Structure formats: structure tokens, C-alpha cells
Structure 1
């Protein structure tokens, strides 16, 4: 549960962090925002303020980053399904501060292979999620040259208790699928690879973590050379400690990097068969998906924060020019039904004070009307 002060308190924490000399600013949005729900939506009950800060519109993003010199910090946005609108809201606020997009640097967590969140409405189909991710990448290449806009969260993708070989195989499979989608969208793989990062579960020791990273680099190099193109660089690889394994879990074997690499390559060989990649990624409806989150317990602060956010949304809708919002959302819907990049009309809609929930609902209406 985040602190009940929402964007204002998060902004104060950011200022203290930057004032102490930090440049990286981690930003975690709440479960409702990450699921593409406005705080006053019926499906957001119990999710507002959970695990992060709610951001419903440009008004909240202005509060969240007020007083910060955005050309000098590196925010990391944990955005999930709402990566596109949250990235655009950050850009809009930066431009209001007088910082041009080309000077902005940062990263957004935008891993389509994690699937829909465990809470909130049904997610978009995988093909639509890939389309949106490639639109984000193409927009970044054109407008935000210093921004990382893709990620593969291997530590979540593999599920709790997965061995390093399975985690690396699934993670590399996800990266390869990104590059295939990029090629289908007419993007250069050499330009796309620097745009995404790979996160793996840390080992029990620093030595074990280094072995996993060496194995992942080897698997990446061989797989992309054989299946895509020679000479592709490796994406940014890093490890993080998993919160999914129970503290009492027994010690796991610690194979050397060569053994991990060989086992991961053997698993990846299965993706040569039709449907193999989806099976390995756990996206075929079978086993291998991360365990669902436990049910959330009621929290009084969540209801109070939802009430405050709902009041802010009511004021925003009362004061904005609704006809401009409606027209911008119509253009967004038209772009989604065509091959146009949806981020350009999405930015116009958000600038007109459309909400995160409204732009996400527009995409669902165009791409998956039966899921929302």
C-alpha cells in the first residue's frame, strides 16, 4: 500500500531523492493505473493507491513531477498495460516545463508477455499488445531518442521457483518475439535492441548472478544469430532479487554458466515447432504462468484516496472542453483501426485532458471490444 498522500507525497519523496544527489527516480504506479483504470471506475475499487501512486490524468502527472528538472533525471516508470499513456503524460509535463523531448531520458516497464494484470479488466490479446508495444518503440525512435521503451521481466515471466535455464529461455524467447514484431512493423532490429532491457532473478550469491548473466548473453547471441540476424547487440541485462520465493525455500543447485546456457538452448529448440514460442512463454493457456496475487485485504486508506481521486476526476471532466476530448478519442480509435501509430493521437487526447482510463478504453473498444 502506498502512502495515502498520493502524487503530492510521492513528489516530495522525489525531491528529497534528487536533492540528495540521485538522478534515477523510480516511479511505481498503483494497480488501478497499471491496469488502465481510472480511480473512479467500478473495477478500481480496492486498487487505488495499492502498490504505488494513482495517476488518472495530466493533472496528476503535473503534481507528481512538479518542481523537478526533468531534463536532468532518469525516471523509471513501472507502467505495465498503461505504458503508452503514462509515457506520453510524462512527455507532456516535461514540455510544459520547457524541456524538449530529445533531452528526456528514462525507461518504462512495458512487458507485453506478462499478460494482463491479475486485477482489473481483461487485457488486450497478445497481438494487440505487441502492436501497441511496437507503436511505443517507433514513437520513441522518432520522438524520444534517449528513452528505453521495452522490457522482458524474466523474474516474473518464469514464475516462482523456476530454474535459471527455464527463466533465461523464456526471457530470450520474449526478446526474439519483440524483434520479430519489430521487423513486421518495418523497424530495424539493430535500433530496437538498445530500447529494451532484460531482468533476471538474482542468484543466491554475486557469483551465481554473474553466471546467470553470462549464460543469458550467450543464449541471446546464439539465438539471435541463428534466427534473426548476425551481429545484433545484447539488450541491457540486470538481476533483481525475487519476492516470489518463500524465505524458507531450500537452497537450489548452482550450475555453472555453461550448463545453464546449454539447458536454456535445449528449451528454446522447442520454439522451432509451430506454437512453440507461446508454449515456452506460458501464453498458450497452459501451465507456466506466474502464480496469481493473493486476494487484497480491505484498507481504509485506499477508499479515502479513491474518494479524493474521484473528486479530482469530477472536477477535471467538468472543466475540460468535452468536445475536444471526444474528437481526440475518435481520432485515436481511427488510428487503432488502421495501421497508424496510436501514440500521436493518444498524446493529443491526453493533452486535451482525456484520462488514462479513457484512452485505454478506446483501445479496448477498437481491438478487443468483448474483453472490457
Structure 2
């Protein structure tokens, strides 16, 4: 069985990539970190270092980015519920390196829908997650203009085995919900769209990918104009396959079929109460005529015990050396911001700079916003 990931190991890999000329650093975090759990929490048992690196605090992020030129490389952070604190930790470390925040460039996977669907019992409810995603976006616009801070993981929303029409429909619907939420917070579509990425699953052929991308562009443009009465550009599109490009004439009939199917499904989503209601209530594929099995639960791995002991020791030292009253005060300000309408990333930055942990920060958000309840739906 392979060993779990560590900040030291990933840092060595990143430095090698940079030495070879890489300008993008893909950072994957382990399952507890993505769920907003510290490595010494009972729920993290057996999962530390699985599928990515554990990052519990600024100390771990310092190790992860040690000796890396954050003014010249682009980190891409694969986060979920913990996107906000991980983005802040990256900013704090960059500033320690002497790089001004406005010069740091990167991207973070920050999808409220994915975080909700993958969160399980104990995760944040969908609407607070949507508010948090918009807070991240607004913070990025003001403080980190070089970052792409919002995404829609359409392949995850639609579910394994979904046909292209369903995937396109859910992807566009998720993007529209972000535009609405951002508008309610005072952000214009022309500010949101350049920082939004629509992610699609790769298909078996390049022709299928090209048809899907053409359909997404057309459905997005029409839906924004009809439902938001706005003329917004198409966001950045990402598909998990390089064989894309512009759809040639031979692919256009297929693109039109996907477009028609996606438009019909968007209308059905509206009749079901809208995207938020469909995802919150677990209607999804089943209500749209498709059924899927729940995703398998991750299996604990043997090396996690060793990594867990190491991370627990690091956390104990962190808590012993930090100024606890400063941490407590910053966390209290964070909770009050979450209970009100203030952007939570500003007090979150204070807390993380004072050496609060990712788990402690996310615990304050859960205390303010509650947790989702499990439901019997297909999600």
C-alpha cells in the first residue's frame, strides 16, 4: 500500500517541477483537510494523507511552499469546504516570502455544490456554502485579483454516468446560481465571469468534447440573457481531456442535440424549484429520469496512523506556542461575521495568522451556520 502524502514530500516534488520549468503547481489536499477537519480529530482517523497532503495550519503551508517562487508560479488548490482557509494560508505564506498579494496568481476549486454533495452528514448546508463561495469571490476581487476563485464541477454535480445534456444543464445551472448570489452581494456579472471556471468531464472522443463545449457556450449565453437579462461573456471552460478546440462542422449536429437536451433539462430544473432546491433536497438525477448509486466510502490506509501521529504532535506544539487569547478573540470575530453579513475571510485571515487551525476555523463556521442533515436522496 502506498504511503500517504506529506507537505515535505510534495514540496520536494514542486521544487523539482519548478527546476524543470513548470509554472503551475497542482496542489491536492487530503480528505480531512478538504472537509475542514484537523488531523487530530476523530473523523480524520485513517484518512490522513489520503488523496493529498494534510494541511492543518500555517506551519504546514509554510513547509508545502518552502523555497518556491510564489511570485512566478501558479498554485492550483484542489479544495472543497475548506477553500477559504486554504486560500488565506496560501496568501499568508506568499506575503511571508515577500510577495505582494496582488502579484500572486493562482486558482482554487471552490464549488459550493461539490462541497455540499461530497460533504455528507456534518458538512455545511448548501446556502451557507454558497454564501461562503461568494465571500471568497468578493475577497479575491478585492485582495487577490490574480486568482480564479470560483468553479462549477459539473461532472460531479450531474453524477457518474450522466449523459452530456445532463452534465451541461447542471453546469450552466450552477454557474447561474453563482451569478445570482454574487449579484445579491453587489457584484456585477462582468466581475464574476472572468473568475469563474466551468469544469466538465472528458468524453471518450475529441469530437464529443468539442460538441459538449459548443453546447455549453450556447446554452450559457442564452440562459444568462433570458433569465438574468444580462449580456455576460462565457466563463473559462475546462474539460478533463486535451482533445478539444473549436467544434468543426461535423460536430455541430451533436452539439445541437446536447444543447436541446440541456435546455429542456434546465426548464425541468426550474419546474422542480430551481437548482438550489434540487440539490438541497437530493432530487438530482432521480427526478430527471436517472438513478445512480451513492459514491463508495473512502477506505482508511495503513500509513495514515503514522502520519496522524506526526500531525497530532505538530498540532500540539502549535497550540502550546501560540498566543491562545489572540486566537480565541480572532475566532470569536469570525463567528460574529458569519452570523452577520460581513465577509468572513477578513477575520478568518486574522485567526489563521494567529495560528488558528483549518479545523478550528471551519468549526466556527459550523457553529454559526449549522450542519447539513443526511437525506435519503441519491446524493
TM-score normalised per structure 1? 0.92
SS at match of 1:56: coil
Query: Does the 8 Å contact 1:31/1:119 carry over to 2?
Result: no
Go from structure 1 to structure 2 and tell me whether the alpha carbon gap of 1:343 and 1:83 turns closer, same or farther (over 3 Å shift): same
Counterpart Cα distance in 2 of 1:37 and 1:345: 19
Q: Tell me how far apart the structure 2 counterparts of residues 127 and 5 of structure 1 sit (CA, whole Å).
A: 32
Report if the CA contact (8 A) 1:2-1:53 is conserved: no
Matching residue of 2:248: none
> Per-residue displacement from partner, 1:194-251 (whole Å, max 9, x unpaired)?
111011112211121111100100000000011113320111102115xxxxxxxxxx
Q: Secondary structure at the match of 2:71?
A: helix
- Is there any run of 5+ residues in structure 2 with no aligned partner, and where? 242-251, 287-291, 375-379
| 1:259 corresponding residue in structure 2 | 257
Distance (whole Å) between structure 1 residues aligned to residue 187 and residue 67 of structure 2: 36
Deviates more, 1:295-304 or 1:175-184: 295-304
Counterpart in the other structure of 1:325: 327
Equivalent residue, structure 2, for 1:301: 303
Gaps of 5+ in 1: 242-253
Q: 1:347 to 1:183 in 2, by over 3 A?
A: same
Contact 2:117 2:157 in 1 (8 A): no
- Given that residues 3 and 9 in structure 1 are in contact (C-alpha distance below 8 angstroms), is that contact kept between their aligned partners in structure 2? no
Aligned match for 1:314, one of 313, 316, 325:
316
Task: Provide the secondary structure at the position in 2 that maps to 1:300.
Answer: coil
Pick which of 317-326 and 282-291 moved more: 282-291
CA distance in structure 1 between the partners assigned to 2:67 and 2:121 by the alignment: 34
Equivalent position of 2:191 in the other structure: 191
What per-residue deviation string (whole Å, max 9, x for no partner) do you get for residues 38-60 of structure 1? 00001111121110000000000
- Structure 1 residue 259 displacement after superposition: 0.8
Which range moved further: 362-371 or 298-307? Answer: 362-371
The Cα of 1:371 is off from its aligned counterpart by 6.6
Task: Specify the SS of the correspondent of 1:324.
Answer: helix
Tell me if structure 1 keeps the 8 A contact 2:154–2:200.
yes
Kindly state the Cα deviation for residue 286 of structure 1 after the two structures are TM-superposed. Answer: 2.4
TM-score (structure 2 length as normaliser) = 0.90
Shift of 1:5: 5.3
Matched residue, 1:33: 33
Q: Give the alignment partner of residue 363 of structure 2, picking from 352, 358, 361.
A: 361
* 2:246 alignment partner in structure 1: none
User: 2-side partners of 1:8 and 1:331: how far apart?
Assistant: 33
Aligned length: 359
For 1:247, the equivalent position in structure 2 comes to: none
In 2, Cα distance between equivalents of 1:109 and 1:325 = 27
The answer on whether the counterparts of 2:116 and 2:129 sit within 8 Å (CA) in structure 1 is: no
Q: 1:301 to 1:132 in 2, by over 3 A?
A: same
Structure 2 partner of 1:213: 213
CA RMSD of aligned residues (A): 2.0
How far off is 1:120 after superposition? 6.8
> How far did 1:270 drift?
2.1
TM-superposed CA distance for 1:287, in Å, is 4.5
Task: Tell me the equivalent position of 1:135.
Answer: 135
- Superposed, which structure 2 residues align to 1:1-372 within 5 Å? 3-4=3-4, 6-116=6-116, 118=118, 122-240=122-240, 256-273=254-271, 275-278=273-276, 282-288=279-285, 291-368=293-370
- Counterpart residue number, 1:248: none
Say which SS state the counterpart of residue 75 (structure 1) adopts. strand
How far apart are the structure 1 equivalents of 2:136 and 2:353?
17
Structure 1 residue 127: Cα displacement: 1.1
Q: Distance in 2 between matches of 1:47 and 1:344?
A: 30
Cα deviations by residue, 1:276-299 (Å, 9 ceiling, x for unpaired): 3236x5432224287543233342
- Relative to structure 1, the CA distance from residue 269 to residue 118 in structure 2 (aligned partners, 3 Å threshold; closer, same or farther) is closer
Per-residue deviation at 1:8? 0.3
Q: CA deviation at 1:330?
A: 0.6
Give the CA deviation at 1:272: 3.5
The CA distance in 2 between the partners of 1:67 and 1:16, in whole Å, is: 11
Structure 1 distance, partners of 2:5, 2:205, is 38
SS of the residue aligned with 1:72? Answer: coil
Change in 2 beyond 3 A, CA 1:295/1:123: closer
CA distance, structure 1, for counterparts of residue 272 and residue 293 of structure 2: 26
CA distance in 2, matches of 1:184, 1:43: 35
**In 2, Cα distance between equivalents of 1:5 and 1:333:** 32
